[in-house]
Amino acid sequence: MGKHKTPMLDELEKGPWPSFVSDIKQQAEKGKQALKDAPDDLLGVMELSYKDKVTHWKHGGIVGVFGYGGGVIGRYCDQPEKFPGVAHFHTMRVNQPASKFYSTKFLRDLCNLWERYGSGLTNMHGSTGDIIFLGTTTDNLERVFYDMTHELNQDLGGSGSNLRTPSCCVGLARCEWACYDTEEACHELTMEYQDELHRPAFPYKFKFKFDGCPNGCVAAIARADMSVIGTWKDDIRIDQAAVKAYVGGEIKPNGGAHAGKDWGKFDIVEEVVRLCPTGCMSWDGSTLKINNRECTRCMHCLNVMPRALRPGTETGASILFGAKAPILEGAQLSTLTIPFIRMEPPFEELKELVNKVWDWWMEEGKNRERLGELIQRESFQKFLEIMELSPDPRMVSEPRSNPYIFWKEEEVEGGWTRDIKDFRAKHQR
Amino acid sequence: MPYDPSDPLKDRITDIGPRYYKEFYPPVIEKNRGKWVYHEIIEPGVLVHVAESGDEVYTVRVGGCRLMSIEHIREICEIADKHCDGYLRFTTRNNIEFMVDAKHKVKPLMDDLKNRKFSGGSNKFPIGGTGACVTNIVHTQGWIHCHTPAIDASGVVKSVMDGIFEDFGQMRLPAQVRVSLACCLNMCGAVHCSDIAILGIHRKPPMVDHEWIDKLCELPLAIAACPTAAIKPAKTAEGLKTLEINHERCMFCGNCFTMCGAMPLADEVGSGVAILVGGKISNRISKPKFSKVVIPFIPNEPPRWETTVKAVKNILTVYASDAKKYERIGEWAARIGWERFFEKTGIPFTHHLIDDYRFAYTTWRQSTQFKF
């Protein structure tokens, strides 16, 4: 029996999906966390929210560790007398290793650290990718940070108006489609920009995300101010014998992803050739042909026949800018800006882009204006000028339909200075 | 030397970043990194990746709660030590992946995972989340730790996942279905491109704490934060500086509250759930798409959010029975037409679903092509 009665939360112990309520209770009963009452009081304040149908956490609070402006989110309960165990309940963001592989040794070290100073509760992981230490008091923040850096060789992640902790897909570690080394790019840029990650100097948040291919497993195109998405320039590699094996039913299509329902015999024409968005494929009964020049690398055929088709070998990334959630001007997806760059460590070309973007955004961006909104406000043309890039039809879905072109004076023969007297000499008033 | 509170800057270490990812690879990953040839899903929740060397890595994927105790993480470590040489990984969608380097190690691992239950009876490690299924719901903090939410997060996710649990462990849908939850419009969870998005929204304008607002907030920042210019400076009868809100112009985004804690807007009946559908991230076949609002409001119904669960299940069921193989929810809706989407799902179409914000015109129909 816990410290508080939680009849509503107890309902969430039922059912097959893992119950976070049972888990918090387990920590309350068995755990040896420093903030002994935190799990119990967290359940208590949650139960109160379930009753009241509103949150009981207060707005903000500026707390942190010396010298950093990010990585710690202040949080206070608005009913501290009832729930003293969570009266101060600050979050610490811990920068996850790229692609989130762990040794049990390191995970246990993290657990021990958090047991020593915190609530014993975490998020594995937060939305941006960090390991989240959920709830501790102000005086423990420095202790966690000291031990984490000294004993675990591990740093905090980002929060506030700074570079947020970058994240990436599983990449080369365990995927055949990764067109560049997403983990190395993620780690390298995280290390390069430690100052920007810890010390807020931006108009608002800035996110990098690294997807190895256009399937987009970390959602770079929707979530990152700079989306780095793997792609290739040359031909899809085809193993015609394996194609035949798919057609003959010897290999399950889509890696077996549809095995739970009888969709009938695999039909390469219906399921691959006709679904190709550019119509660049054909099947004559024995050979699959791809007109690679017309291919837009949507990944469908590769996804359906992973043993027969592989990305080309001239690989790199497309760079897109400006994605964000709706606050404020509405949600945006990233816009294709650089169709292709090579992605080799230490990613100097990528860093040059980052520096140009930041110089401009830090100069021109308004408070809480994301890069995507600045590009909209100032125009994509302006953005290209800043980036020193030439316009390319790949950057747009279609050309503009209105003729309101902001011509520049130097583009117009003779400039804009004219004399009305010359005009009047030929045209009566 | 341990931390010395009297000299906090002594021996300080900063800017060292995360640990290097290569420290944490299982041997089979380390050896075959960058040399994988193909993968297969051999049963729901179980993947095999095959390398050029002929090596195989078998991955058993299990659903995880994003909120996790250290007791639970230690149990995960115990499993990984027993079966996986002391390594594991997490996915972007809060799943846990246990990896073994030989097929005969898969069954003992799966049996072990299946047998572990929480005291209340729920599975600790449900296996699934691969292929044409509903995988884990990514979500935000909600009432467990956030100051701006319109809804809870963990409890809604638990309730919805219980309701559609069968589709986590089976691969019988036309394509993968990505469900996401964000507890307010800030969308820490970025649900604007999900097949099904559960979004917390407010419907009452902020209250102004006139007595405190000038002491707690920078008033110009709160004014500037409003995207519809609905906030202007004002004075109370006592002459205190405060703000006035034009309620007609408020679209309940909560951005002012983010800037100024003296303008709370969450409310017991005003706040609740909106459902959006048809978004996607992947470039596969069709371009990435935004999710679209199809249910403007469902009240908060703790502890089990029955109406929300029913709404998600209904959309999923109609989609599963009507879409073609490989078609994501948004592609299906675009093919049959949104008028058919509302007809087939039985969801009422109300004025709330017609856009009237920045790019509204681009979503209206400028055509005589429609279905009766």
Select from A309, A311, A294 the least CA-distant residue to A244: A309
- Å between A403 CA and nearest CA of chain B: 18
Inter-chain touch A12–B49, beta carbons under 8 Å: no
In a domain, residue A405? The reply is no
CA torsion A363-A367-A370-A373 (nearest 10°) is: -90
A104-110: long-range pairs with CB below 8 Å, 24+: A104/B77, A104/B80, A104/B81, A104/B86, A104/B87, A104/B88, A105/B86, A106/A152, A106/B19, A106/B23, A106/B24, A107/B73, A107/B76, A107/B77, A107/B88, A108/B74, A108/B77, A109/A151, A109/A152, A110/A152, A110/A154, A110/B73
Residues A205 and A129 in one domain: no
Could you tell me if A75 and A15 lie in one domain? Answer: yes
CATH number, domain containing residue A29: 3.30.70.2500
Residue numbers in A near B149 (CB within 8 A): 55
Give B235→chain A minimum CA distance, Å. 24
Q: Which DSSP symbol is given to B236? A: -
Closest Cα partner for B185 from A68, A412, A330? A330
pTM above 0.90, yes or no: yes
Among A292, A310, A328, the domain boundary falls at A310
The C-alpha of A102 sits at a distance from chain B's nearest C-alpha, in angstroms, of 5
Q: Which residues in chain A have their CB less than 8 angstroms from residue B14's CB?
A: 67-68, 149, 155, 198
Q: Tell if the CB–CB gap between A124 and B152 is shorter than 8 Å.
A: no
Rounded distance between C-alpha atoms, residue B186 and residue B148, angstroms: 9
Helix or strand (DSSP H, E) at B225:
helix B219-225
Which domain CATH number covers A303?
A: 3.30.70.20
Residue ending a domain, among A95, A121, A151, is A151
Note whether A137 and A210 are same-domain residues: no
- Using the Cβ of B278 and the Cβ atoms of chain A, whether some distance falls under 8 Å is answered with no
**Could you read off the pLDDT of A268-321 as tens digits, one per residue?**
999 999 999 999 999 999 999 999 999 999 999 999 999 999 999 999 999 999
Across the interface, whether the CB atoms of A18 and B118 are under 8 A apart is answered yes
- How close is the nearest chain B Cα to the Cα of A45, in Å? 8
Total structural domains within chain A: 3
In a domain? residue A408: no
User: How many residue pairs bridge chain A and chain B with CB atoms within 8 Å of each other?
Assistant: 438
Q: Are both A193 and A332 inside the same structural domain?
A: yes
Q: Which residues of B touch A54 (CB under 8 A)?
A: 143, 266-268, 271
Which chain B residues touch A300 with a CB distance below 8 Å? Answer: 284-285, 326
Whether residue A407 lies inside any domain: the answer is no
Say yes or no: A204 and A336 in one domain: yes
B359 touches chain A (CB under 8 A): yes
- pLDDT tens for chain A, 429 residues long, are 689 999 999 999 999 999 999 999 999 999 999 999 999 999 999 999 999 999 999 987 789 999 999 999 999 999 999 999 999 999 999 999 999 999 999 999 999 999 999 999 999 999 999 999 999 999 999 999 999 999 999 999 999 999 999 999 999 999 999 999 999 999 999 999 999 999 999 999 999 999 999 999 999 999 999 999 999 999 999 999 999 999 999 999 999 999 999 999 999 999 999 999 999 999 999 999 999 999 999 999 999 999 999 999 999 999 999 999 988 888 999 999 999 999 999 999 999 999 999 999 999 999 899 999 999 999 999 999 999 999 999 999 999 999 999 999 999 999 999 999 999 999 999
Q: Are residues A173 and A50 in the same domain?
A: no
Q: Best of B12, B25, B145, B258 to disrupt the A interface by mutation (most A CBs within 10 Å)?
A: B145
Residue-wise pLDDT for A8-50, tens only, equals 999 999 999 999 999 999 999 999 999 999 999 999 999 999 9
Tell me, what CATH number does A387's domain have? 3.30.413.10
* Contacting residues of B for A218, CB less than 8 Å apart: 92
pLDDT of residue A1: 65
Note down the domain range covering A120.
Answer: 7-151
Q: What ipTM, to 2 d.p.?
A: 0.97
Q: Is residue A12 part of a domain?
A: yes
Q: Is residue A410 part of a domain?
A: no
Q: Has residue A1 been placed in a domain?
A: no
Residue contact A329–B38, C-beta within 8 A: no
Q: Are residues A178 and A72 in the same domain?
A: no
Cα B308 from chain centre: 15
Nearest to B68 among A23, A178, A328 (CB): A23
Report B:18-37 residues touching A (Cβ under 8 A).
18-21, 23-26, 29, 33-34, 36-37
**B257: chain A residues, CB-CB within 8 Å:** 59
In a domain, A411, yes or no: no
Q: What's the residue count for chain B?
A: 372
